[in-house]
C-alpha cells in the first residue's frame, strides 16, 4: 500500500474509523474498561456504548490515538510515511509533508506510532545469528583503539542471517549485560552464533549457555573467514547510523531505544505487503501514551 492507496481507500474520518473498528474488534466492539460486549450508538460520531459500566467511547479510546486532535487521515498518512521510509523520517519532515500545525504535535505523533511498534512480538532468534556492538551519538575523540567512547551510547545488535534484527540501547558492553541480551533474544538451540573476538563477547556467549560459537578475529585484521563474519549485523548498524545522522539528526539518549524499536520493526517487515495495516493494528491495540509520560 502506498500513500495514494491510503488516501483513496481512507479519504475521510469515517472511513478511517471503520478500518480501526475492524482491526481493534474483529469480533465486534468491546468495552475498553470492563471488556463486555458493547453496541454502536448510531450517531454520526461513531460512538459505542457499554451498558455494563455505562461508558460511552470511540474506537480510539484507550489507544495511542487517545485524545488526539489530529484528524485520522493525517495519522494514517504519518503511519504510512514512517512504514515506508527505510531510514525513518524526522518529525520535522512529517510536520512539513502533512501540514501539521506545530513541531511538538508532529514529534508526539511520531513517538506514539513508535511506541506502538515497540510492542510488537519479538520471537527468539535461531539459525545463524550474529551479535555485535556499536556506539552512536556524542563526539569522536581519538581514533581506533584509543578512541574515547564514554560520551557515546552503546547499541547492541543481534541479527539472524536472512531474518530478524534486534537493537538495544545498552548501558555498557560488559559480558554480563551482553549475556542478558543473548538469553532474552537468542534461542538456546541456536545453530551457531557469530561475534568478533572482543573478550566480553566470548564470556557473554559462554555465560548465556550457547554451545556453538564462532569468532572472527577482528583484532588481527580479519573480517571474513568462510561463513564466519558479522557483516550482516554490521550492515544493519550502518543503516542505523545513516538514520541517526541523516534523518533524525540528533536522537536523545532518553528516546534512543524507541528509534531502535522503530527501525527493527520496519526492517523485520520489509517484505510484508501488509505493513501499513499491521502497524495500525498495533496502534489501535497499544495503550495510551500521554505527553507527560513521554517527556517525564
Q: Which residues bind Zn ion (CB under 5 A)?
A: 31, 33-34, 36, 50, 52-53, 55
Grid cell digits, residue 251: 536522537
CB of 36 to Zn ion, least distance (A): 5
CB closer to Zn ion out of 34 and 224: 34
Rounded to whole angstroms, how far apart are CA atoms 32 and 139? 47
CB of 61 to Zn ion, least distance (A): 11
CB closer to Zn ion out of 16 and 284: 284
Helix, strand, or coil (residue 55): strand
CB of 54 to Zn ion, least distance (A): 8
CB of 37 to Zn ion, least distance (A): 9
CB closer to Zn ion out of 33 and 161: 33
End-to-end alpha-carbon separation of the chain, Å?
36
CB of 30 to Zn ion, least distance (A): 8
Residue identified by cell 495519522 is: 75
Rounded to whole angstroms, how far apart are CA atoms 210 and 207? 8
Partner residues linked to 57 by β-bridges = 48
CB of 22 to Zn ion, least distance (A): 20
C-alpha neighbours within 13 Å on the C-beta side of residue 190: 30
Determine how many CB atoms are found less than 10 A away from the CB of residue 249. Answer: 9
CB closer to Zn ion out of 39 and 224: 39
Cβ pair 155, 170 in contact under 8 A: yes
CB closer to Zn ion out of 62 and 157: 62
> Who's near 221: CB < 8 A, 6+ residues apart?
none
CB closer to Zn ion out of 27 and 150: 27
Residue identified by cell 473498528 is: 21
Amino acid at each position: 500500500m502506498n500513500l495514494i492507496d491510503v488516501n483513496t481507500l481512507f479519504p475521510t474520518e469515517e472511513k478511517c474509523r471503520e478500518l480501526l473498528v475492524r482491526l481493534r474488534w474483529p469480533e465486534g466492539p468491546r468495552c475498553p474498561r470492563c471488556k463486555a460486549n458493547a453496541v454502536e450508538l448510531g450517531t454520526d460520531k461513531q460512538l459505542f456504548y457499554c451498558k455494563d459500566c455505562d461508558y460511552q467511547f470511540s474506537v480510539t479510546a484507550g489507544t495511542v490515538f487517545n485524545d488526539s486532535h489530529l484528524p485520522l487521515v493525517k495519522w494514517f498518512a504519518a503511519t504510512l510515511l514512517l512504514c515506508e521510509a527505510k531510514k525513518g523520517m524526522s518529525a520535522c519532515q512529517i510536520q512539513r509533508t502533512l501540514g501539521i500545525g506545530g513541531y511538538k504535535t508532529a514529534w508526539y505523533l511520531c513517538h506514539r506510532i513508535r511506541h506502538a511498534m515497540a510492542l510488537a512480538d519479538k520471537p527468539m532468534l535461531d539459525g545463524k545469528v550474529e551479535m555485535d556492538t556499536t556506539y552512536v551519538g556524542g563526539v569522536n575523540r581519538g581514533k581506533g583503539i584509543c578512541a574515547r567512547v564514554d560520551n557515546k551510547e552503546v547499541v547492541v545488535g543481534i541479527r539472524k542471517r536472512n531474518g530478524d534484527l534486534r537493537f538495544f540501547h545498552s548501558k555498557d558492553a560488559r559480558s554480563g549485560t551482553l549475556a542478558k541480551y543473548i538469553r532474552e533474544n537468542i534461542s538456546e538451540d541456536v545453530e551457531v552464533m557469530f561475534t568478533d573476538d572482543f573478550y566480553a563477547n566470548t564470556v557473554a556467549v559462554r555465560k548465556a549457555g550457547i554451545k556453538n560459537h564462532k569468532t572472527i578475529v577482528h583484532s588481527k585484521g580479519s573480517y571474513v573467514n568462510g561463513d564466519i563474519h558479522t557483516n550482516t549485523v554490521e550492515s544493519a548498524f550502518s543503516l542505523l547510523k545513516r538514520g541517526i545522522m541523516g534523518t533524525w539528526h540528533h536522537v536523545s539518549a532518553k528516546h534512543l531505544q524507541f528509534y531502535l524499536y522503530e527501525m527493527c520493526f520496519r526492517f523485520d517487515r520489509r517484505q510484508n505487503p501488509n505493513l501499513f495495516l499491521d502497524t495500525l493494528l498495533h496502534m489501535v491495540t497499544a495503550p495510551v501514551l500521554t505527553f507527560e509520560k513521554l517527556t517525564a
